[in-house]
Chains A and B, each alone.
Chain A
Amino acid sequence: MKKVKVKHAKPAPKLKGLSFQDLLLTLEQYWTERDCILQQPYDIEVGAGTMHPETFLRVLGPQPYRVVYAQPSRRPADGRYGENPNRLYKHTQLQVIMKPAPADVQDLYLRSLEAVGINLKEHDIRFEEDNWESPTLGAWGIGWQVLLDGQEITQFTYFQQSGGQDLDPISVEITYGLDRIASYLQGVDNVFDVRWSDKVTYREVRLAEEQQFSAYSFDFADAGSIRKQFDLAEAEAARLLQLFAGLKSPAAKKGFPILQAYDFTLKCSNFFNLLDARGAISVTERAAMIGRVRKLATRVASAWLEQRADAGAKVAGPTSAAQVEGQVRA
């Protein structure tokens, strides 16, 4: 076949659109006005905003909660050395959790799009079936991807399980793909052309990261060393969980560092992603490693619930058959 030569005909942008940072600020403002607390991105490498404890752990148990935060999310296998106009090693998610899910949450979401300058009557916006699932977190939910004129801009999920635990109440998770929305609003084909602020481009801010982290993931990562780090992080998380399991008194459990065990679990997940991108995982190992991370995640979830229950928080209803089944599945 002939070599494809495409002129990137750039249509004159009709939408000037918000800068990347104004988009972020506007959405954070919008959701804080709807009783979400504004949290910060998690300070450990994660593949998605869902892995932030503000989602993974907060959706467990009965306490109502509302939170919004941005989460830079690393997907080593998606890295393209900054050469692909749409694919990124690290993209930025804006994550909203509402627990319990309000009945008008779709409307709340759609009004957030209006808030960033999208006229809903002039665009083709739709909710298309897309159920989300994370085998490493033992989490899944029912929902859609939201398409704006054919572009996926948001994942919208009613969580059903997290860490292998059936959830009650049901939380809704709204995950905006900020890089895509910014490209859309500004009418640019290449994410690196996005204006980060009025004076600085996305390229200037992020290109070096994309180049270097892609290079590391694909070309420089030392599989042996990463595998060792995976094992170490796993062992430390497991050690903590084991200690917790041996505790008898609620007082001792109360201050126990379950959160630290979760951090090590996240480390495992990131090391796994790196090994995967490096092509260093064999057949049997792949499924097994996912299973190892999931096992930690589900133990963290049940320890976290136990800790909260012993700390006096009310735990949702008696364990139902479905819950037991959920735990077995996990």
Chain B
Amino acid sequence: MTSDVKKSLKGRGDFLFEIGCEEIPAGMIVKACRELKALLEKYFVANALLDEGSAASSIETFGAPRRLTAIVKNVRLKQEDVVREITGPPKAVAYDAVGEPTRAAMSFAEKQGMAVSKLSIIMTPKGEYLAAKQEVSGKPAAQILAGVLPQVIQEISWPRSMYWTGLGKQRFIRPIRWIVALLDGKVVPFAFADVVSGAHTEGHRFLGSSKIALSGPQDYEPKLKKNFVLCRPAARSKKIETEIAAITKKHAVKVHHDEHLLEMVTYLNEYPSVIIGDFDPAYLALPDEILLTVMRDHQKYFGLESKGGELAPHFLAVINLPSDPKGLVREGHERVLRARFADAQFFWETDQRTRLGDQLPKLKAVTYESRLGSYGDKVERIRALARWLAEQWFSAGVSQADVAGSDRAAELAKCDLVTEMVREFTELQGVVGGLYARAQGEPDEIAWAVYDHYKPVGLDDPLPRNLTGCAVALADKLDSLVAFFAVGAVPTGSSDPFALRRAAQGIVKIILERKLPMSLSAAISAAAKALKEHAPKIEATEAVQKQVLNFLLERAKFLLREKGGFAYDEINAAFAAGADDLVDAADRVAAVKAIRNMKNFVPLAASFKRIRNILEKSAGGSERDHATVSAELLWEPAEKELHAAAQRIGEVARAKKKNRKYREALEAVSELRPAIDAFFDKVLVMVEDKNVRANRIALLGNLLKEFSTVADFSELGGEESRPA
């Protein structure tokens, strides 16, 4: 260590902070640790206990079910002494002619709590001034932290916190039962919610000591480990993964990898171990989806597959113990799973007594949303819309579009909501309906459509596997969107309780990825029609429909950016030329991207921007759309040439566009560049002669209009404006 570093570390020490808590919900620990780190950084820097540049790297936070921990390295044990210099009145004002202090000087001295004789004169750029120099001695870090740490604890935010010592007292996610706060080996004394900070932590609830003396960060991890707590999540997940690998190897099975479940069990246990359990292979006759949901979602078990990829009659449970020597835990978990599977089997058999379609009348009694009627009402709307969509596609040449099939699938789609199985396993809605439809002899196309109709759930979730499924999925989501917007339940930046953003994302994803030929505004208006014609007969006004359209277009832009890799301005340019047919708009976005780097294009875009500016500055623009160019008023060669070029190139571009060869259309447009450049070089638009001026503006106006039908080039290269 160099002497400099030694010197800089002198007067510094490490800080250990642990909030000991009753079991914190597993899904909240990661975020809480992130916040704890940010809060400590904020307060340590604000109080000069850490330097701003190095604070982030000095603080480490991590958590386990019963503790949130922070280790802060090289904390300044005492704030540095600082000399504060406060400038007072100018010297000329502070002293009179004979050098005696004036009233101004005395009042300044009084304000600073100093004798006038102790004041000094300093030189500033504005001249000589009276000044008070005071040495402020830094406070000990422990004293500062005692004040700051309760604040830190209180400021960690939770989805839903609680009182436990009484109404109006401190809140936290669960009751805090101990606090460790050790700075340089000494306790930082404070209290939070009746808990006094100290130097003792608790080990594993059943296997460790409930009073472990600590001296600081150095013995924290090893002492907890001895007491069956792996305090670092990485150590826990590694132990889990290692044990899973060993067990699966031994039993010649594969685990269904599940990152989410792994994180969950990492934060559910302080000393995780993996055990294998078995279930009766007869249950494998139940669909895999149901077995896996029971194991994974309800019991937090990993499902196992044979080498052939089929579900195997075993499971892995992660337990909060080092081992299960007597097999008691295994036996318990097996019994629970047996009961769960027996339930599922009972539900399956009960549900099979009623045909899926015969559940339909019951949907009348299931509320969709208080203002939007029952699921029975929604199904009627979805059916109408699914039929309409299939008809549209069919007449646009999509031969496999099946109107009757879409209607049937929409009719069955929500019937599983009243089955025993979905009442118990709500996350299997759709899936269960699809499985039942197939078991009851519906054609595959319809069964899969029911199965898939909630898809896609996220950006990376696959689409419904067949076109009928796409029709039902679109109809379902469009109805939700239009219906909720119609009753004013529009999502805001922070609140989207009906997951409408996700619904809209699903709609545009299906249309774009499946390349469905359809008009968005017509689809919205069809949804509005269904909403008006079926109970509870709600009107979605033109304004609402417009709002829905814009909402969908925003999601389409988002999707093209995130998944398509297109730039803001490319999307904006193409969308400005129309986006009602999303697939067509996306083709134009791709064309813009393809040609934007050609040599003529950037200058051409700049010229179009210039044209737009000229048009905006002139007459306000309303007459330019209608003005025709009079050839006899064109007299400069450059403007004649531009007019001719526009007509010539326009014809080519129009033909290309008609055949949806957008790239070629744009390439043709780019050939305008020499004519436009020459025009701007040689011709003045804003001339005195009114008629000539109007004619030139008309020429430019027509040019902009004619050549912006594929994309509006004036949008290109602009500032990236993020949508609100």
Contact = CB atoms under 8 A, between A and B. Distances in A.
The yes or no verdict on A and B being binding partners is yes
Nearest to B370: A287
B487 to A, nearest CB: 15
B25 A150 contact: no
B320 A124 contact: yes
B364 interface: yes
Main secondary structure of the interface of B (DSSP, over half): mixed
A169 interface: yes
B346 A284 contact: no
Interface stretch (B326-334, B450-458, B524-532, B557-565): B326-334
Given A120-B206, A126-B268, A151 B364 contact: no
B332 A151 contact: yes
Interface residues of B, number: 64
B343 A129 contact: no
A274 interface: no
B299 to A, nearest CB: 5
Contacts of B373: 283
A167 B169 CA distance: 12
Interface string B273-287: 000000010110111
A14 B320 contact: no
A85 B342 CA distance: 8
A200 B276 CA distance: 36
Interface stretch (B110-118, B156-164, B425-433): B156-164
Interface in A12-34: 14
Contacts of A281: 365
Given A1-B439, A84-B346, A126-B268, A149 B333 contact: yes
B285 A189 contact: no
B286 A4 contact: yes
A17 B280 CA distance: 25
B336 interface: yes
Interface stretch (A98-106, A251-259, A263-271): A98-106
A2 B328 contact: no
B365 A283 contact: yes
A160 B339 contact: no
B609 to A, nearest CB: 54
B270 to A, nearest CB: 10
B317 A142 contact: no
Contact of B282 (A4, A103, A160, A169): A4
A11 B207 contact: no
Given A4-B282, A6-B282, A170 B336 contact: no
A141 B163 CA distance: 10
Contacts of A122: 321, 324, 326, 328-329
Find the residue from A80, A126, A131, A286 having the highest chain B CB count within 10 A.
A126
A11 B280 CA distance: 12
Nearest to A127: B23
Interface stretch (A65-73, A241-249, A315-323): A315-323
A286 B370 CA distance: 10
B338 A189 contact: yes
Contacts of A189: 335, 338-339, 342
Given A126-B23, A283-B364, A317 B177 contact: no
A158 B175 contact: yes
B225 interface: no
B422 to A, nearest CB: 15
B332 A5 contact: no
Contacts of B335: 149, 151, 184, 187, 189
Interface in A301-330: 316-317, 320, 322-323
B165 A170 contact: yes
Contacts of A129: 23, 25-27
Contacts of A128: 23, 25-26, 268
A185 B547 CA distance: 60
B269 to A, nearest CB: 8
Contact of A126 (B27, B320, B367): B320
A122 B324 CA distance: 7
B37 to A, nearest CB: 23
B576 to A, nearest CB: 44
A1 B163 contact: no
A4 B329 contact: no
Interface in B439-456: 439
A286 B343 contact: no
* Highest count of chain A CB atoms <10 Å: which of B168, B345, B364: B168
Interface of A: 1-9, 11, 14, 80, 84-87, 100-101, 103, 106, 110, 120-129, 131, 141-142, 144, 148-151, 158, 160, 166-170, 184, 187, 189, 279, 281-284, 286-287, 316-317, 320, 322-323
Interface pairs A-B: 6 shortest CB-CB:
A149-B332, A168-B167, A129-B25, A127-B23, A142-B162, A124-B319
Given A125-B320, A283-B365, A284-B367, 6 more contacts: A1-B439, A4-B348, A101-B175, A124-B319, A150-B337, A170-B163
18 contacts: A3-B285, A6-B283, A6-B345, A9-B280, A84-B346, A101-B164, A121-B206, A121-B207, A122-B321, A122-B328, A123-B332, A124-B321, A125-B320, A149-B328, A149-B333, A168-B168, A187-B331, A316-B167
